[in-house]
Amino acid sequence: MADQFDPDLPKRWTPSAQAKYLEQMRTTAHPKAWYCRKGRTCDGKPHDAYDYSHARADQWPPPMNEDWEHWIMSSGRGAGKTRSGSEFVRTMTRYTGRIALIASTSADLRDVMIEGESGILRVCENAGYLPHWEPSKRKITFPNGAIATGYTAEEPDRLRGPQHGAGWLDEPAHWKNVEYVWDMYSYGLRLGAAPRTAITTTPTPIQWLKDMIAEPGSRVVTVPTFINADNLAPRYIKRMKERYEGTRQGRQELFGEILTDVEGALWNEELLDDTRVDHAPELTRIVVGVDPAGTSNKRSDLTGIVVVGMSAERELYVLGEYSGKYTPHEWAIKVREVYQRWGADAIVAEKNYGGEMVRTVLDTELDSFARVIDVTSRQGKFIRAEPVFSLFEQRRAHMVGRHKDLETELVEWVPGKGKSPDRLDAMVHASHELRGEGGPIEIAVPKGRLRSSLPTGMDLNVLDLLASTHRRNQGKDGLGAVA
């Protein structure tokens, strides 16, 4: 039996809202129901009194009497996601008085979600449920008094303060700041007994989407573009099949697959899993790699902080990852904490963006025995990363346990594209130092610290011996023994 929405809800509207709704029903020619009496068994094709295209089974929201939070439509281009999202908003006006609409840009909000061919205004017109749209306020007021307010990923802080009982996010898998936008939205999703969210997107393999899909409160729909062929131009369908069917791009854009093997990326999940170990063997050296952010405002890159160790067989082990958005003082404190926790013998920090700032900050925050090595990256990220990747291919580099954020960056980073891979850079700096292979990274040994006090001719073996003694002493002091 089809899910029925509460028919008595309009009786609880204010008299003025009831009168306005009835007037619209009288003046609207032939309102068209989107959800037919067949319910979730319908294929959406015309039948009986529904002599027009309407909701397919995958376009029905999960039953309202079930316990769910997120309806995720991760499907191909043109599969009907926007229509489903618009109808969801219209439906949710019966359950909550405040709804958030979140698009990538103001133009997307207006041209797709609200005024588009499958947008909210069009579906409400089809249903004889005409709202009042105020573009300057990004506000839609429905006949029963419910209000939907528009926001964009460009200005996520506008979501601070407002409360909502439902929301529709369109194409969030393509927002650069999706985690922050989601956080701002989630803080205000607190009205009513069961707040709900519709998410419509062509998928990309970002961690946020994977995490959302994995949540117990999520209900996920994935359908291909071609399921909606009756509502798309035949030439479009023909062109899409000829050009993209069977291709990697087609799997994502037409079939809605989340591709875990990012085209052009060096690392992939299979390689990381194959080289993963639960515990590291006895290690001869441990270093902390640091890739400092050039600035410390909210738009800054992360400061990458990764701990890597090396065994007697010269195999590398990624032990921990502690990256984050820090001020210079904060990341120096974090580096000191990590350095002591792991009993590391050196800190390897890139100085390209910070110059003497990196050295000054570390000098200020670290104890006098910490060995700090400045590195200057004089060649491209691919040239620096490729030797480390090769060690993974040779099964001579390993992840110890799981490091979700670092691993996500590794499998999603395509050389020459996207933002700076800060965690990867920190891992690469540490790895090159441990393997003693300068090559792409030219290391400038600074004055002062341990190196400056060594007699002429003392080599790195002595340094390693002193560092090992330092680690053993740290373990005795409870500061963290070598794993």
Q: How confident is the model at residue 188 (pLDDT cuts 50, 70, 90)?
A: very high
Q: How confident is the model at residue 27 (pLDDT cuts 50, 70, 90)?
A: low
3-state secondary structure of 256: coil
Other Cβ atoms less than 10 A from the Cβ of 298: the count is 9
Other Cβ atoms less than 10 A from the Cβ of 140: the count is 24
Number of domains in the chain: 2
Look at the block and give the residue holding tokens 């002429």. 456
pLDDT given at position 431: 94
pLDDT given at position 251: 83
Task: Give the range of the structural domain holding residue 286, as residue numbers without chain letter.
Answer: 269-476
Please give the residue that has the higher pLDDT: either 396 or 447: 396
Whether 292 and 225 map to the same domain: the answer is no
Whether 274 and 212 map to the same domain: the answer is no
Task: Decide: 41 and 16 in contact? Cβ < 8 Å.
Answer: no
Whether 86 and 223 map to the same domain: the answer is yes
Q: Is residue 258 part of a domain?
A: no
User: Strands of 397-399's sheet, edge to edge?
Assistant: 397-399, 316-321, 304-311, 283-291, 346-350, 372-377, 441-444
Q: What is the pLDDT of residues 43-96, one digit of tens each?
A: 999 998 898 999 999 999 999 999 999 999 999 999 999 999 999 999 999 999
Q: How confident is the model at residue 299 (pLDDT cuts 50, 70, 90)?
A: low
Whether 310 and 353 map to the same domain: the answer is yes
pLDDT at residue 480 above 50? no
* CATH assignment of the domain containing 373: 3.30.420.280
Q: Indicate the burial class of 225 (C-beta count within 10 angstroms; 0-12, 13-18, 19 or more).
A: buried
Q: Is residue 39 part of a domain?
A: yes
Q: DSSP for 13-26?
A: S-HHHHHHHHHHHH
- Do the strands 283-291 and 346-350 form a parallel or antiparallel pair, or are they unpaired? parallel
Whether 328 and 411 map to the same domain: the answer is yes
Q: What is the pLDDT of residues 108-150, one digit of tens each?
A: 999 999 999 999 999 999 998 999 999 999 999 999 999 999 9
Whether 151 and 193 map to the same domain: the answer is yes
Interatomic CA distance for residues 231 and 79, integer angstroms: 9
Whether 248 and 277 map to the same domain: the answer is no
Other Cβ atoms less than 10 A from the Cβ of 258: the count is 16
Whether 286 and 239 map to the same domain: the answer is no
* CATH assignment of the domain containing 44: 3.40.50.300
